[in-house]
Structure 1
Amino acid sequence: MQGTLLNQRYRIIKILGAGGFGQTYLAHDVQHPEGPPCVVKQFKPVSKDATFLQVARRLFDTEAKILERLGQHELIPTFIDSFEEREEFYLVQEFVDGRSLGDTFSDGLQFDEPQAIAFLRDVLSVLDFVHRNGVIHRDVKPENLIQRHSDGRYVLIDFGAVKERQYQLANQTQMTNLAARGGSQQQSSLTVGIGTEGYTPHEQLSGRPRHSSDIYASGITVIQGLTGMQPFEWGDDPDTGELQWQSYALTSVGFTLILETMVRFNVKHRYRSASDVLSDLDKLATLPEEYTTIPDASSRLLDSEGAGPVQQQPETGLLASKMKPAQVKKSSRWAKLKPLAVIGVATAIMGSLVLGVRQIGWLQSLELAAYDRLVQLRSNFGIDSRLLVVEITERDLQALQRPTPSDADLTQVLQILE
């Protein structure tokens, strides 16, 4: 394949990698002889069926446009070209001169906390851009992160969208062929997820990736860099499914909480967006010192068998609570009823105080004032036809030349009206 000219433009220099869908080549653009090399990715359709190829061609063109838009970000390879040749599809992108994070980890190099935070800022800024463009990467891992030699920043490569289209097309072809043979489409299915074991969360494995799936994979990559261990080496909680990596990393309480939230097993408890994680990273500097202090390596010793870190001596404080395994406390019946008992006693005391004060009349003026106010605020229901109001003024008495009526006279009048 070396020396082959593709699309009468791209001459193959060497093979960079190979997979189930095709190969990736380092190539030279003969139309720009002075320009840098480029990367040509080959995608072989899983079927030569005419209908399949027609649909594949349309989906490939759509994905090429998406990758062209994503390539505008400074930490995503620039999109150069796409073409079809001999019923095979090709993407051409910028060649990133650098070293993969996977190779760095293989050499035994690890992150300290400041390096991990700087790495996260690069990756999360890319993911924020990608997600806002309606795309999920689906395969964030050390091998797909290249540290550029020119500036040391990390570039995200190898988007899984085109791969997913291949799986979808394979599934559609299988179902169509089965139906053509008179079989039931419910008898067979092809469910394959894009991703890499250890970095892929459960919802993505079941075919329902979300933005937080990429955040999970980014968190796993960072934790791998901090611990120097593969994801399967950490172990997990058998009850909750949460990864148990904390005792293998030297991280502050604040940064530990961020990473824990990035890799939660339950997607509902995970960060929903890359911008949320970036916001919390910005807040780290504002936290109290006890949350941002990175523990000294001397505070953790490896046991003689290398089974894992143990603490040199008991410690106290928030940091120790993150380093020590959680202790399960047995709750007694009284512990469960205690809050209710406290509420009941407090209610009884307050009720007794109110009744006592009311009994000696201290609340009478307040009660009358409240009642008067309520009467003033009541709605106007108009004149009640059952009431008769008789008004006798001093002028009326003078006109009738009658004296002011006595109480006895008023009583007699009221008796007559009744």
Structure 2
Amino acid sequence: MAGRWQRAADVALALVVLLVAIAEIWVPFESRAGTGDPGWSTLQVLILALALCWRRTQPLPAVIVAGFAMITFHAAGVAYLLFNGQLVPLLLLTFAVARYGRGRDPYLGGLFVGGTMLLGDFTIPELGSASEMIFHWGALGLTYVLGTWQRLTAHRAEQARDRAVAAEARAVAAVLEERTRIARELHDVVAHAVTQMVVTAGAAEGMAETPEAVRRSLATIRQTGSGALTEMRRVVTMLRDADEAASRAPQPGLAALESLVADARATGLPISFEVTGQPRDLPAGLDLTAFRVVQEALTNAQRHARAVTEVAVRLDFTDQEVSIEVHDDGTACPGTGGTGHGLIGMRERVLLYGGKLRTGPRPDRGFAVEVALPLEAG
């Protein structure tokens, strides 16, 4: 649609230039100079107008056709010297080759226009005066510079759009990758819950003579099954690659944080670890999410910060939520921006459980990761 409108605009512009040029020849206007034949001059301006129709799609051939038409008709002595019929089309074509030319075309077109004007200055007496040369060279130079500036500006804008599209594609791919990883881990949580249900049910079969024990076993099965269904509902809300085999290794939770912190300390990261409130058992999926948030935050501190003197890890349990804070006082390392998968993974996990995530630089120095995960009513 845009291409048709541009072609229509080019044809309309060429028609306007042609009509004004014909009037300049036949009325005539005061801008008509020199000697020539009205019929041949009309043919010349018709060729120039036709060249204007292709100024946007084929700017270099259009400039060449126009230049040859101007030189040959004047060399034959059959065309008037025209402002509206010759200089105006040449200015428009000069702008077009500088603006829309690709590769070497803008430079070849500029050289061709310059050569055409030099030849005209030497062969057409009316163009040889100092004032005339200053005028037409100044107008052509300014037009060429303006077209070049617009071409470079458009090129930079196109590159920026390409970079934005590529960044968006990378972000989408990262989200899909992280969601796939989360789904595999939740699959393990559900598989473990179902296994526990089967084992508990088998144990209940051997307690038929002890109703109270059976009731406790059935209650455990109900609670475990309810949790498994909840996790399954979360899994099926995300698109996943069903062909990837899920690892059956047990998934970690907050109980493994001490070990995680100890491992990070062993690498030289200065970590303080604090738990406030009344710790409580969390649903398996939520427990895994909390662990992964701390794990990713510590990984970011190791990879992307320098001059770290303290990394503070704090867990706070309330009746309504568990909050996680990981603050470091380091400065960002140049060239360690990474792919952004870590923060994307945090966001996906936290949103999956209806939580809130805030990440970003701290007011004074360092980086903060703060998460609030709501606790489901038991």
Pairwise same-fold verdict (TM > 0.5) = no
| TM-score where L is the length of structure 1 | 0.23
Higher helix share: 2
